[in-house]
Amino acid sequence: MWHNVKKQTLSSEARLAKIERDKEKIHSYNKLKDEIFKIRNEGSHTVEFLNKLTDLLGLNPEFYTIWNIRRETLSSLFHQHQLDSQSTLEDELKFVMVLMKRYPKCYWIWNHRLWCLFQLGKDANWEFELGIVSKLLSMDERNFHGWQYRRVVIENLETHDDLENLKINLQEFKFTSSKVNSNISNFSAWHNRSKLIPKVYHLVGKLNYQDEPLFQSKESLLLHELTLVNTGMYVDIDDSSIWVYLEWLLSDCFFIDELSNDKYHDILNDQLKIINELNDLEITDNGKDNCWCLKAMIIINELLDNRSAVRPLLEKLIDIDPLRRGRYIDQLDSF
Amino acid sequence: MTLLSKKHIDYVVNLNSEMSKQSYEHWLSEHLRMNGLYWGIMTLVTLKSLDSLPRQSIIDFVLSCVDKRSGGFGAYPQHDGHILSTLSAVQILSILGALDELDKESVIKFTKNLQLPNGSFQGDSFGETDTRFVYTALSILSILEGLEEELVNKSLDYLKQCENFDGAYGMRPGAESHGAQVFTVIASFAICNRLDLVNDKLSSWLSERQVKNGGLNGRPEKLPDVCYSWWILSPLAILKKLKWIDLSKLEQFILDCQDDEGGVSDRKGNQTDVYHTCFSLTGLSIINDELYEGNKYDMDSIDPVYCMPYSATKTFKPWPYKS
Ligand SMILES: [Zn+2]
């Protein structure tokens, strides 16, 4: 599967030269592979065998069967006390790190890293892992494996001590703040934030923890997040992340269940006003409404039960957002 | 641009030619061979040209990939059984009408054994869990009529936990929403006859994946990629919301991603591969069915739940089974 790779057109000489070069590579790769399967079928697990597996994985880390054979072999060597598991697994983590740098998107390498850490059990250094993944996410801020790995690391840093867990998750919350502050379009960070807010709030309440003013009430949290989103709208009005996050803030029962009806309506009306003003600026600057502003106004008006305000907004969207015309027509019809 | 059907057929037929075997990359991709064969076959099925490949040698190859120790299929002879290659093998045999050649009981057992107590599925006995594997398992079991109530309920419970604040789904509870994951969850709900579980926000989320040039992306603020012509379009088809995006613009985007020499790439001008060729053309077939009653592209119809031709899926027993 190729992603983001420009098509290469080789001249016929270059093509022939590649075929010539590949001959030797294919030969040694297949020789190594055949040897490995032969040894596996004989069931012999030795340290020399591990070296062959290292060589093959260096050539092709996507070869999942070889990772399986490696784990089988390691487990068997530990079991027979031919290798010390702790030092071997620590070396294994270094080996994996080298491969991760060369192949940052290969799923199997991450998978094997976790296996090593789980084998290490209480000797695993999850703080070190957190450092690695923070560095990775500073280089590639939406790397899917990176964010997933980060959540696994956090799960493993968590203990039975609620206060410790609160601190870990507060630190994670602050990590997402720094990510969205440096780039408002980092949806991966917004996403993680949506998971952390209820979690941290719950722990703060359970421990009656006073040092974090932001988490003392859902209302203060909501207002804080709305300010953040409103700032984001002015930074980049066409960034979808903030609008998706706004809808969550204004409609999720976590935030609104404890608000009085009056307070909720005030908040909705405030947001409507802010978005209206922003949209007016867009009309002045670009001569037309902004799609995201209109979509947000629809959501808020529906939450306010202002159904009569929704129809003209949908009619405008049919004009200015032709890609999703069919959706707006369906929504109009449902009136 | 027109559809280069003939070129794509030749492209698929030549994937395993002596010439391809001269390239090192061909040998490095053995671990994807079973999936690749399925992608190639689906490309040909969509273009009504399945007879361009020798039926019996395909069946022989598939059966040679059985991993006797696990009961599943590997991607290539001697490779370990994995749930992804097992689904491809079962799909291929089903499309070729050769399911009788399969030891169904052992594949069903292999698949069921991969379910964990929380309802998720592992890819193999070492593997991680992923919503993809839940779909893979449900699809295998549905094709082989091996679904069971407890397994289905646990799977659904797990998938529900993967729902996010945007109404879409991630690969695990807590993980960010992603287009490919949305397909696997919605198609799983469809297999289990539980589309009522879908969040109302989802169709809007799916429609927001279309970007200005007509292509679809997999997550907000990402570039479009032709493979999402399947991952995003098929859930829209299952939810009967195809009109919520501009299909003609997507059609144009897909056609533009074709290579003059056959095959389709993620974006115009990039390196082609059989994965993107398969999922762009199966996506195009959904558009073809929706927009052109006269079958403009002369394509076969593809079932959005299984990514297989209706001619194969129409015989699958719907869940819940009647006793
Ligand atoms: Zn792609």
The pLDDT value recorded for residue A95 is 96
- Report yes or no on A156 lying in a domain: no
**What is the rounded average pLDDT of the residues A176-197?**
94
Using the Cβ of A118 and the Cβ atoms of chain B, whether some distance falls under 8 Å is answered with: no
Q: Is the pLDDT of residue B259 over 80?
A: yes
Whether A304 is covered by a domain: the verdict is yes
**Does the CB of B298 have a partner CB in chain A at under 8 Å?**
no
What are the pLDDT digits (tens) for B32-69? 999 999 999 999 999 999 999 999 999 999 999 999 99
Q: What is the pLDDT of residue A163?
A: 96
Q: CB–CB of B108/B147 below 8 Å? A: no
How high is the pLDDT of residue B220? Answer: 87
Domains held by chain A: number: 1
> Residue B83's pLDDT is what?
97
Q: How far apart are CA B132 and CA B154, in angstroms?
A: 15
Contact B206, B186 (CB under 8 A): no
**Which residues in chain B are closer than 8 Å to A3, comparing Cβ atoms?**
225, 266
Question: How far, CA to CA in Å, does B215 sit from each of A192, B39, B99, B239, B253?
Answer: 27, 21, 36, 20, 6
Flag whether pLDDT at B128 surpasses 80. no
Distance from CA of A248 to the nearest CA of B (A): 6
Confirm whether A28 is domain-assigned: no
Count of CB atoms situated within 10 Å of the CB of B21: 11
* Alpha carbon of A67: minimum distance to chain B alpha carbons (Å): 9
Note whether A142 contacts B222, CB cutoff 8 Å: yes
> What fold characterizes domain B5-313?
Glycosyltransferase (1.50.10)
pLDDT at A153: 96
Is residue A136 one of the residues assigned to a domain?
Answer: no
A chain contacts of residue B29, beta-carbon cutoff 8 Å: 62
pLDDT of residue A334: 87
Rounded CA-CA distance A135/B293 in Å is 53
pLDDT at residue number A8: 86
pLDDT band at residue B289 under the 50/70/90 scheme: very high
Would you say residue B323 has pLDDT above 80? no
What span, in angstroms and rounded, lies between the C-alpha atoms of A209 and A200? 10
Structure confidence by residue, pLDDT tens digits, A110-124: 999 999 999 999 999
pLDDT for position A54: 97
pLDDT of residue B115: 96
Residue A10 is predicted with a pLDDT of: 86
Which residue type is seen at A225?
E
What are the Cα distances from residue B64, in Å, to B117, B138, B264?
Answer: 32, 24, 29
DSSP string, A302-322: HHTT-HHHHHHHHHHHHHH-G
Strands B264-265 and B308-309: unpaired
Find the range with the poorest average confidence among A140-154, A242-256, B104-118: A140-154
Interface test with A, best of B17, B172, B208, B221 (most A CBs within 10 A): B221
Amino acid found at B62: V
Q: Residue A143: what pLDDT?
A: 82
| pLDDT at position B243 over 80 | yes
DSSP A259-304: S-HHHHHHHHHHHHHHHHHHHHHHHHHHSS--HHHHHHHHHHHHHT
| Span B206-242, pLDDT tens digits | 999 999 999 999 998 899 999 999 999 999 999 999 9
Of A172 and A10, the structure prediction assigns the larger pLDDT to A172
Using omega within 30 degrees of 0 as the cis cutoff, is the peptide bond preceding B224 cis? no
Q: Is the pLDDT of residue B86 over 90?
A: yes
**Contact state of B24 with A26 under an 8 Å Cβ cutoff:** yes
What is the spatial distance between Cα B237 and Cα A334, in angstroms, rounded to a whole number?
A: 20
Bridge partners, B264 (sequence order): B258, B273
Contact B244 A240 (CB under 8 A): no
- Measure the CA–CA gap between B102 and B100, rounded to whole angstroms: 5
Q: What is the mean pLDDT of chain B?
A: 96
Return the residue matching tokens 């604040």. Answer: B165
A189: tokens are: 């960070």
Tell whether A247 is covered by a domain. yes
Per-residue confidence at B126, pLDDT binned at 50, 70, 90?
confident
**Range(s) of the domain holding residue A239:** 224-335
3-state secondary structure of B129: strand
Tell me whether residue A152 is in a domain: no
Q: Is residue A275 assigned to a domain?
A: yes
Q: What is the pLDDT of residue B189?
A: 98
Q: How far apart are CA A200 and CA A195, in angstroms?
A: 9
Q: What is the mean pLDDT of residues B177-202?
A: 97
Per residue in A202-223, pLDDT (tens digit) is: 999 999 999 999 999 999 999 9
Q: Please report the pLDDT score of residue B125 as a whole number.
A: 83
Q: What is the pTM of this model?
A: 0.95
Q: How far apart are alpha carbons B121 and B134 in whole angstroms?
A: 5
B222 and A CB contact within 8 Å: yes
pLDDT at position B22 is: 93
Least confident of A243-247, B15-19, B311-315: B15-19
